[in-house]
Structure 1
Amino acid sequence: MSSHQSTQSMKPATAAKKLGVYLDATPAEFREGVVTRDELSALQAEPPAWLVELRANGPHPRPVVAAKLGVSISGLARGGVTDALTTEQIEAIKQENPEWLQKERATQAEVRKETVRVKKLHAEREARRQES
């Protein structure tokens, strides 16, 4: 048995997701090739200008848009936001603060509160279980 290790690679869509960028906005050479784990690590360690620009100004993929707005991806869809948005567009939505955004942020706050409550409950149950 040799210790030869094959280079793992991923589709550009997977790499874009790991980098937190919108695939369609990446350069053609990125979209048309494959990305090795080493290349991905290099992009993360020393991002090229196009990656810095995309991360700063977008367009951003929906998970990033949702995070920047403080809502879930489902909340974006309920609010009618289905496309990638630029940072400028996200800021405009924040400034406008439409009713759907207020509602979805309130929903997210309730979800977070419930998650904390459930974790605390589980921790208390585990502590009682270990005591007995």
Structure 2
Amino acid sequence: MFRPAASIAGLITPSPYTQFARAAYCHGTNTWSCEEACAANSDFRVYVTGGDDSDTPDFFVGYWPTGNAAIVAHEGTDPLQLLSLNSAIQAHTGFLGAHSRSAGVVLSAVQKVISEHNVTEVITVGHSLGMLHTIAGC
């Protein structure tokens, strides 16, 4: 569900969702100690983290009491890793592999959050490839 900013201040101050997406790029999500992005959602409880900074993008799943929701976040494309903007490049096989390496763990963690907290909402966040990961399983 898209939730537009209600004011200019809402555009200037990062939303909780923006901070969750931002945290997916940080090291320290397993202990929820990634400085500003984690501090902005300090009540968040991590259930699982993963990724290898290589073939499988970093991700986390957990419970967010403020929103009474399960949160799924995936790290997006690292712009420093882009070698070319050649439009002939195809990456679907790589994406499929990256997604399949984390999908089972993510699904299990989401099911656990739903079961333990009776949440009615699963919020997926990410940027670039990270957002594609979060919607691929829907």
TM, length-normalised to structure 2: 0.25
Structure with bigger strand share is 2
Structure with bigger helix share is 1
- Bigger relative contact order (CA 8 A; separation at least 6): 2
